[in-house]
Amino acid sequence: MESSFWQVNDDYIKSLNMLSKKLRFAQVDPLLNASKALKDIKQELERLRKKALSKVSAYVIGIFSSMRKPGTNIQILQQNLLQKYRYLVLFLKEHGIETYNDVCAAYVDKMNKVLSEDFRVYLESLESLKLDIGVSTDVIGYDANVLDLIPRGREQLRNHHFMFSLGERSNILKEIDQPGLVPCISEANSLKYPYEVIFRSLQKLLMDTASSEYIFIKAFFREESMFYQVFEGPFAVIDENMKLTLANSHDAICLMLMICITKKHQEYELCFLW
């Protein structure tokens, strides 16, 4: 096992499986437990178990760490983990539950940070694509004593034509399942969008990311609770952005469309589950 560890291949998995069977046999057979033969090898089995736990956990956590490298395709990496290294996690869970929990915690920590940063960067990129439609001075009940939250310098960017007219903005509900915005392409073409377009794009990314992550965690770890732990960070990033955006929004049509988009996505998810 020593020589094959750094190349986790079929031979190493077979060796690990053999060790697992011996450990399992020694644990469940009462006659063997009482035998002198087991006493002679029990210490060696325990040494091999601890060594395997240490090396397997270090190897798997090392793979998790690579997820934070720029340009890493996380979904491909996850598929590789699922296809090649699923047994490593099963071994940890059966023969070293504390080590297994440490590995789970390491995955949650890494993915929480990776996804939180990904959504933060995406939201910042989307912000530059937003078409300002109305401010507090455009609606009834504006208090002149309250400081306008949108700087006067952006006055010329606002589009009042869309503020009280649904028009073609309702088309967003027909494009509910279309791919999300790619900020660099939109910026290159000097495109601006009403906020509901940005909101749909954000929700689309969140749904796709969450679905992929849930499927992986369920298949690889079989620990559903890890999914919610992984997304605590991303949800916090999105929630903070939404609170700031909604607090400064005076576009009633946008708010109505956001509600409709959310409902459409909920219906889509229910159909997917069925």
- Contact criterion met (CB below 8 Å) for 253 and 164: yes
Residue-wise pLDDT tens digits, 56-112: 999 999 999 988 888 888 989 899 888 889 999 999 999 999 999 999 999 999 999
Question: What pLDDT, on a 0 to 100 scale, did the predictor assign at position 269?
Answer: 64
| Interacting residues of 201 by C-beta distance below 8 A, sequence separation 6+ | 126, 180, 181
- Residue 130: strand, helix, or coil: strand
Token pair for residue 98? 């504390």
Which tokens is 7 given?
Answer: 């190349």
**In the prediction, which pLDDT does 200 show?**
96
**Angle at the Cα of 223 (from 92 to 240), degrees rounded to 5?**
125
Instruction: Give the per-residue pLDDT at 153.
Output: 43
pLDDT for the residue numbered 30 = 62
Separation of alpha carbons 196 and 255, rounded Å: 8
Distance CA 97, CA 66 (A): 24
CA atoms within 13 A on the CB side of 62: 9
State the residue for tokens 């079989």. 222
Euclidean distance between CA atoms 46 and 35, whole angstroms? 16
Give the mean pLDDT per block of 10 residues along the chain (274 residues). 56 93 78 66 89 94 89 89 90 96 96 96 95 65 48 47 75 92 94 95 95 94 95 97 90 92 82 50
Say if pTM beats, i.e. exceeds, 0.75.
Answer: yes
Kindly give the interhelix angle for 86-95 and 97-127, rounded to the nearest 10 degrees.
130
Tokens at 225, concatenated: 């609770």
pLDDT at 29: 65
Give the pLDDT confidence score for residue 255 in this predicted structure: 92
